[in-house]
Structure 1
Amino acid sequence: MKVRGQRECKDCGARWSYYETGSVECPDCGSLRSVGVEEERNLHTDTPVEFDLTEVREDVDARPLREVADRAGDLAAEYVRKRGFVRGGDLRPLDDTYLAAQELRHAADVVGRGLDLSDDEEWYFLALLRGADAGGESASATDADSPTETGPDRRPAPDEVPKSMQPIRGLAYADAVAEYRREMADWVDEQGESGEPGVRAQARDALETLGDHVKRVQALDGDVNAANAELLVSATRDVSRYLREGDDDALVSARDRFGRLAE
């Protein structure tokens, strides 16, 4: 969607950034009578949304795990639905919070069915619940361009994911990358003729290759090892960095990762 960034209240005259608030409601007087005041419209898909699992975590010892999972899954799904990756015409990185929300959404669906879980599977779900929202609304560009974060307040490292749960991570990452790739492609299209033809061609080629790898993982219902799921995300971030910064080394890195994924 292409929108004007600045809005003006027709009742009190206040101005604010739609890109920051995602709302046409005046922050000063609450009026819904506002208009865009800039001629230029920019691609904008991101919506400010909070992702806070505090109350769900507090229920872990008080309610059945199935109920906890249902609530966590609902919150994660809502966050994923509202998120986007282009803000005011600027392509943003693929951040860890979005990845974690996708993974928690898929894991909660399995746990919420009430199936018997092994100790490792229960630990995996609770680890996701503990750290999925640790990054706040969104990670910084530096964090988002780094390898996915793990640790006490992050989701489990690849070698910590139970084998039975690896398809959850694989499918979650594939879904996240598919959505991010779609917005990268839209962003490239919006650049039109402003970039160099050679750069546009290489960008579209990289996006096409990325799409092929995503489709493969989705066709397997995510049943790939966790290390390959991480590799898919890293390749995506390489492509993103090439698009946003014109970093040729990032494109070389993406192609290298594509080759390893194809092995």
Structure 2
Amino acid sequence: MKIRGARECKNCGTQWAYYETGSVECPECGSLRSVGVDERKQHTDAPATLDLTEHRARFGEARSTLPEEGVDELKTTLRSYLRKRGFIKGGELEPLDDTVLAAHELLHAVDVYDHLADPTDPDREYFLSLLSGADDGDRPAPAAVPTNMRPARGLGDADAVADYRDDVLTYLDDHPDEDAREVLGSLRERVKRVESLQGDVDPAAVEELVTAANEIARYLREDDAAALTSARGRVERLEL
């Protein structure tokens, strides 16, 4: 939606950036009486921090199964974070960042791991490694994904790319570009293919979708024609 990012308190005159706080409450006096003082711009992001500290403490001792109450609480934390995250900030298109990718993957990894009949040590190590670094945007490389956990990587990245594509399309409402729309259409077809395979695809292949999405965005932000050409070729070459 389009909002005014610069606000001024009608009570004390303080000005602040709504894009940074996500609140109409005056940071100085607490008044809710404020007005926007600039033009409206597309904005889909909200201030959000992913903190998995308490979940790491709970899951660190898990062996073959995960604590049921812990699973529900972890998924609630991840969903709450992802609901707030968007990729347009004050009219500017942001990259698809690693923390969003890791959060999406971890959301699926909880279910994938919990449904394994006989999790292996590599499966457990991978899950705990993802949990350890997700809030900092750190996750294992594609080559390190165990076979049993491939669906989590595939579905997580597919969900993240789908959400990102939606925001890029919103951005294009104010910055029309038919070439970008065309490549986004091809990207969506590949995402649907990953979804139809329940995410069980080569992690290196699904990583290409993430790279292509960010290349499309770089083209739009920087007028980098080479980035769009690279994204188009990357998507067309994918075999899923």
Q: Deviations over 1:169-226 (max 9, x none)?
A: 101100000000010011011125xxxxxxx121111111111111111122212111
Are the structure 2 counterparts of residues 190 and 54 from structure 1 closer, same or farther at C-alpha, using a change threshold of 3 Å?
Answer: same
Measured after TM superposition, the shift of residue 110 of structure 1 is 3.2
The reply on whether 1:65 has 2:66 as its aligned counterpart is yes
SS at match of 2:59: coil
CA contact (8 A) 1:73 1:109 kept: no
CA contact (8 A) 1:8 1:14 kept: yes
CA contact (8 A) 1:158 1:227 kept: yes
SS at match of 2:217: helix
Q: Deviations over 1:83-108 (max 9, x none)?
A: 00000000000111110010011112
The reply on whether 1:2 has 2:29 as its aligned counterpart is no
Equivalent position of 1:180 in the other structure: 164
Q: Deviations over 1:128-181 (max 9, x none)?
A: 10110114xxxxxxxxxxxxxxxxxx2111121111111111011000000000
Measured after TM superposition, the shift of residue 30 of structure 1 is 1.3
State the AA in 2 paired with 1:65.
Answer: L
Q: In the aligned structure 2, how far is the partner of 1:207 from the partner of 1:23?
A: 33
Equivalent position of 1:133 in the other structure: 135
Q: 1:229 aligns with which of 199, 206, 225?
A: 206
SS at match of 2:158: helix
The reply on whether 1:251 has 2:221 as its aligned counterpart is no
Q: In the aligned structure 1, how far is the partner of 2:190 from the partner of 2:59?
A: 37
Unaligned 5+ segments in structure 1 are: 136-153, 193-199
State the AA in 2 paired with 1:11.
Answer: N
The reply on whether 1:202 has 2:201 as its aligned counterpart is no
Are the structure 2 counterparts of residues 210 and 114 from structure 1 closer, same or farther at C-alpha, using a change threshold of 3 Å?
Answer: closer
Measured after TM superposition, the shift of residue 240 of structure 1 is 1.1
Are the structure 2 counterparts of residues 114 and 257 from structure 1 closer, same or farther at C-alpha, using a change threshold of 3 Å?
Answer: closer
Q: TM-score, normalised by structure 1?
A: 0.84
The reply on whether 1:191 has 2:171 as its aligned counterpart is no
SS at match of 1:132: helix
Alignment of 1:35-184 (within 5 A): 35-38=35-38, 40-61=39-60, 65-66=66-67, 67-112=69-114, 116-135=118-137, 154-184=138-168
Measured after TM superposition, the shift of residue 235 of structure 1 is 1.1
Runs of 4+ in 1 over 3 A off after TM superposition: 60-65, 67-70, 110-116
Unaligned 5+ segments in structure 2 are: none
CA contact (8 A) 2:112 2:149 kept: no
State the AA in 2 paired with 1:105.
Answer: L
SS at match of 1:258: helix
Q: Deviations over 1:73-92 (max 9, x none)?
A: 22111111110000000000
CA contact (8 A) 1:69 1:111 kept: no
State the AA in 2 paired with 1:261.
Answer: L
Are the structure 2 counterparts of residues 28 and 219 from structure 1 closer, same or farther at C-alpha, using a change threshold of 3 Å?
Answer: same
State the AA in 2 paired with 1:183.
Answer: D
Q: In the aligned structure 1, how far is the partner of 2:111 from the partner of 2:215?
A: 30
Cα RMSD over matched residues? 1.8
SS at match of 1:35: strand
SS at match of 1:3: strand
SS at match of 1:254: helix
Q: In the aligned structure 1, how far is the partner of 2:5 from the partner of 2:227?
A: 30
Measured after TM superposition, the shift of residue 245 of structure 1 is 0.9
